[in-house]
Structure 1
């Protein structure tokens, strides 16, 4: 297979759009960004803040620490950080620069202003609408469909931006993800000019490995990575799982280091890259070999998530961990057949893991998913595989991926609603 010039450019654009830096768990950061934009539109410090959010946003903000706030949690804390200290122009790095004085101001503002949190009963699974008011003035900002996608801005009833009806388009996106396939991804990974992707991947390697090292060295969350190393040894397989888990533990617990995300998620960005980096170090792979393996892992994760959507009851770590296994297979000489079997085998093992929000246990799910990705390749090396009609496995890797789309986007809708009811104590 050969890629057309248009297909090649599209793959590069996908990577540019998806592999962006973010500071903090992307759901609370989306709220902070929305709130910062609302304050900017209002033109003064709001006296009242009404935050309406979809169930999946509530689920993913409930238990995670908002960075640069002095370990505050929750929707009001994320909004207050954006209002007091946010720079809307920095988008998902909106609260990357917060002074000690501003941290104290965030706490004071939470006590002084009126915050109201409401669940959005209709709309997108990723949906935030913030209304701010002061001195008779009012501003409204809504983000939907992706974490930085502002679809509506109002001030005093005047509509300044309206993109709410553009259901299929996300602001700023130019690349078409519908043409992704494992065969095309492998072709792109083989043929890509490294200069076209090096800057993107260098940033991912630098940022994501740094937070993984921080997670191993210090006390973050449930310390899943450290537990793995102490109890399971230090072989490359264990290190790959441990480092990815450690990066998640640090991120979920408010570590003030940025990461490069994948499919809108920092945890997925860490999971899809760090295990591949660990294996590349162990195998003494060249820089070029690592870049091409990361192209495989990143794009396969994007392919999997594209049909599920950014938020679902289907755990995104599964997509990223299985994709990491494919990148590891590439590093060891695997190509289309090896990668396809690795993906099908690993998906068959861990596709039942559910997402119950962003929190320390994400690290454990990441470790399990990376383990499945590695096992999926080991099975293929040993001549073993899961066959069509084994559960959700179908003949051909793309058919199995379509089954995952159905499971994540449709089959788990009621599961998602029940998880949200459990987490919000709604009987």
Structure 2
């Protein structure tokens, strides 16, 4: 196992994000296209994959008081700097928000999705009085694969039309060979326990960042206010002030802050801020409650992020299944089990327990209600770990669960990409208020 390769993967996949990463990816593509254009943007045309469209449809955009991809795209054209990556919207100002709102109101921003695309895909075309430019992101939220100005390629080669596969959609939508190919969960546990602390100490920044997001969510009452309401139930004596409740309310509060559009960053995992919240906050709460030091927390976070990435390599960056539950939730369950003294076998059982429990949770887009799903996942991650430590584990005769955690994750990926191939289309019909037949 290449220790350096896994450290590099963590540094690549665990990064600050300012706002929901799907509209941020749209803003980033627009910003890069505008830089190629070299002139003020008068019109924006965006085509995305269904998953990007779904996740950006109803989510709050930091510092704007508005929701959705159009305002993010307009801000990308006005103040976006592509070099900022997932923090492309960090320089947002009140003046920029007013100008972006005017662009959207004037009909200068159009957004649609291509049902033949899967995974992360954003095709941004921008227009000025005398020219046009285009930038395409594919595979991951910051992976700019093509840039052109006035039809002339500046970077990459012109993307081909999406090739349809049997059952609809394209193949994986991911780029390159899976980074964790050939490794097992036991390998990841060994890495987390053995890697020099100095190599992963940077992960503690994410614990601090996402804990601050939780604090902001509790104090500002942003989004749906799930975290704040759970805290009030504790104060009223209606919920016990125990480990699971604290993990639920702090995880929910961080999601409230992010989905509600507070102008704060969160540390992401596998390209998603909500994944980062789920992979980090419950683990941090358990570490604090059990007196684990900084080094043990960093090692647990390394395991949590790597398991999250591992699952995403089978389900895809964007999927019909809620990745916060099955991927980041599996990461949190693995890390919590390890924090509480579990060996590699127990960690694998915790992952199987979590997937057996939450595999059916659908992703119906990024929105305030995600805080409910993250709260549920935080609690179930702890329960999955505790059950595993007590010897209770789902076996290979139970539903999609396999004999090993790796087989279970492969099965989950198959069900997500094949069994639920039409789920996003159905979800988008509902989200866009399409005609739905009734009985």
TM normalised by structure 2 equals: 0.91
Which deviations, in whole Å up to 9, do the C-alpha atoms of 1:133-173 show, x marking residues without a partner?
Answer: 112301111111111111111111111112547x98978x8
CA contact (8 A) 1:205 1:274 kept: yes
Residue 110 of structure 2 aligns to a residue whose secondary structure is strand
Stretch of structure 1 that moved more, 339-348 or 214-223: 214-223
Offset, 1:98? 2.0
Offset, 1:316? 0.8
Structure 1: distance between partners of 2:353 and 2:69: 38
Structure 2: distance between partners of 1:327 and 1:258: 23
4+ long deviations beyond 6 Å: 167-171
Aligned match for 1:72, one of 54, 60, 66: 66
Offset, 1:203? 1.9
C-alpha distance 425-113 of structure 1, shift in aligned 2 (>3 A): closer
Which deviations, in whole Å up to 9, do the C-alpha atoms of 1:243-285 show, x marking residues without a partner?
Answer: 1111111100101111111111000001101111111111111
Residue 143 of structure 1 aligns to a residue whose secondary structure is strand
CA contact (8 A) 2:228 2:249 kept: yes
Offset, 1:112? 4.3
Offset, 1:224? 1.4
Aligned match for 1:137, one of 131, 135, 141: 131
CA contact (8 A) 1:52 1:130 kept: yes
CA contact (8 A) 1:14 1:177 kept: no
Aligned match for 1:100, one of 54, 76, 94: 94
In structure 2, what is the equivalent of residue 279 of structure 1? Answer: 286
Structure 1: distance between partners of 2:16 and 2:101: 26
Aligned match for 2:41, one of 24, 28, 46: 46
What is the aligned length?
Answer: 419
Structure 2: distance between partners of 1:108 and 1:129: 22
Structure 2: distance between partners of 1:145 and 1:179: 21
Task: List gaps (5 residues or longer) in structure 1.
Answer: none
In structure 2, what is the equivalent of residue 366 of structure 1? Answer: 374
Offset, 1:108? 2.7
- 1:31 aligns to 2:34 (yes or no): no
CA contact (8 A) 1:127 1:143 kept: yes
C-alpha distance 265-151 of structure 1, shift in aligned 2 (>3 A): same
In structure 1, what is the equivalent of residue 164 of structure 2? Answer: none
CA contact (8 A) 1:180 1:303 kept: no
- 1:405 aligns to 2:416 (yes or no): no
CA contact (8 A) 2:117 2:173 kept: no
Which deviations, in whole Å up to 9, do the C-alpha atoms of 1:349-395 show, x marking residues without a partner?
Answer: 11100000001111111111222211112222333222211111111
CA contact (8 A) 2:353 2:394 kept: yes
Residue 413 of structure 1 aligns to a residue whose secondary structure is coil
Aligned match for 1:195, one of 166, 173, 198: 198
CA contact (8 A) 1:181 1:303 kept: no
Structure 2: distance between partners of 1:22 and 1:416: 25
Offset, 1:421? 1.6
- 1:341 aligns to 2:349 (yes or no): yes
Structure 2: distance between partners of 1:175 and 1:382: 33
The alignment's C-alpha RMSD in Å is 2.0
- 1:351 aligns to 2:359 (yes or no): yes
Offset, 1:129? 1.0
CA contact (8 A) 2:269 2:309 kept: yes
Residue 131 of structure 1 aligns to a residue whose secondary structure is strand
Aligned match for 1:83, one of 77, 83, 98: 77
In structure 1, what is the equivalent of residue 9 of structure 2? Answer: 14
Stretch of structure 1 that moved more, 395-404 or 182-191: 395-404
CA contact (8 A) 1:245 1:363 kept: yes
Structure 2: distance between partners of 1:271 and 1:261: 9
Stretch of structure 1 that moved more, 280-289 or 117-126: 117-126
Residue 129 of structure 1 aligns to a residue whose secondary structure is strand
- 1:237 aligns to 2:244 (yes or no): yes
CA contact (8 A) 2:213 2:264 kept: yes
Offset, 1:99? 2.5
